[in-house]
Amino acid sequence: MCKVCESMEDRISRILEQWSLREPGLLSIYYTHQLEENKLMDCCIRVGKRRIEFNPDALEGISDEALNELLMTTVLRICLRHPYERQPYGCPANCLKAASDMVLSPSYRIRHNNLFHPNDFMFPIGKSFEWYATKLMNLMQEAKANPNNIADTIRKPLEELMKMGNDEASMWIEDEEMLETIKERIEQITNWGSVSHDIQELIRIAMEGRIDYRKVLRAFSTSIVSSELEYTRMKPNRRLGFKAMGYKHEMAARLLIAVDVSGSVSNESICRFFRIITRFFKYGVEAVNVIQFDCVVKKEEMPLNKATKNYTTFKRLGDGGTNFQIVLDYYYAHKGYDGLIIFTDGYAPVPKPHYLKRSKLLWVFNTEENYNENKDALSAVGRTCFIM
């Protein structure tokens, strides 16, 4: 069959046959997904939901070399786990795709297709997928709110990003089962073909994984929700029937959240933190109250829903230092709470936990860098995680 008469699926199959000799490692990862045609999407190739989809109309006229690059880039995204984990809450799909580009592009030299590079936005090289995605999301929000504040050096790539559709990453969704499948396949690879050592190192780092704040928050929520007995005539006693009152378990807990307003925690990160907490503590929690602190407790408690609506009023003075001990002292003085979450950058002396169990205290850091810097010291008195 002549190349002109080949269907796009046949061309992809021919390239994959060549991979069996040249790229056996990538071919193994490719076969974790199903190839499907999709003429309705606004991009050439995309991955997600265990599928690799291609649009033959959008790919019309593309060379074999460029098609091979597109397939390799798609499979490398799978190896790096970007379509299936660690997606910042509320991040648009175009920012996710661009962030994936920025992880790949410094180590991945391609000739026929364009990837966003960290230098396009004056970002440092070597940051995580979540870091780039969050920064791009914030940059887009700033551009929409205050377009004149955007530096001329990044205006062109930012406009390109904002014009880009969401189709390329629209199927990206967390999938723990797929992550395990990818991990098992990668562990079996002995021949990476043309994949550079730099890319292999990126894949190795992705395999190690980062702490997942979702799992930490679920575990913390489970640990603080208390089970209380409520006696009721509507339910018979197991032994004596309706002669004695039965009982049911009532799940209820009270949670205190302390937000560090000493100067280095931004409004955006506070807002994101509140949105996440709201999602994880909807059920089984009677009350969630918020206080602000630096070297002292700044204001009286307020309910989480009120704090979420008024987070922009949180005052970050930056000149009073930070004291974690006053937060723990406040917790001790106000009885009835079942757990404490402290949202902070982590830079302050380690407090004395007194009687507070480690499982009842959670430190949530505002950045991965602050987490890495302070987790060892603070994990001695509580669980730790970070959000992006």
pLDDT in tens, 260-316: 988 777 777 888 888 888 888 877 678 899 999 988 888 788 988 888 887 777 766
In three-state secondary structure terms, 257 is: strand
Paired sense of beta strands 254-260 and 339-344, if any: parallel
Query: What are the φ and ψ backbone dihedral angles of 273, each rounded to 5 degrees?
Result: -60, -45
pLDDT in tens, 314-363: 766 555 678 999 999 999 999 889 899 999 999 999 999 877 888 899 99
In three-state secondary structure terms, 166 is: coil
Residue 299 confidence (pLDDT): 77
- For the chain, give percent helix, strand, coil, nearest 5: 45, 20, 40
Rounded Cα distance between 293 and 320, Å, is 10
Rounded Cα distance between 211 and 385, Å, is 7
In three-state secondary structure terms, 383 is: strand
In three-state secondary structure terms, 60 is: coil
Residue 304 confidence (pLDDT): 87
pLDDT in tens, 42-66: 999 999 999 999 999 999 999 999 9
Q: Are 362 and 342 in contact (CB under 8 A)?
A: yes
H-run or E-run covering 330: helix 324-333
Cα 78 to Cα 73, 164, 212: the distances in Å are 9, 21, 18
Residue 40 confidence (pLDDT): 95
248 against 195, higher pLDDT:
195
Q: Which two tokens stand for residue 224?
A: 């603080």
pLDDT in tens, 123-132: 999 888 888 9
Assign 109 a pLDDT band (cuts: 50, 70, 90): confident
Rounded Cα distance between 18 and 32, Å, is 18
Q: Are 27 and 78 in contact (CB under 8 A)?
A: no
Query: What are the φ and ψ backbone dihedral angles of 52, each rounded to 5 degrees?
Result: -115, 115
Mean pLDDT (the chain, rounded): 86
Rounded Cα distance between 276 and 342, Å, is 14
pLDDT in tens, 357-388: 888 999 999 888 888 899 999 998 999 998 86
Rounded Cα distance between 240 and 346, Å, is 55
H-run or E-run covering 198: helix 197-208
SS (H, E, C) 263-285: CCCCHHHHHHHHHHHHHHCCCCC
Whether residue 1 has pLDDT greater than 50: no
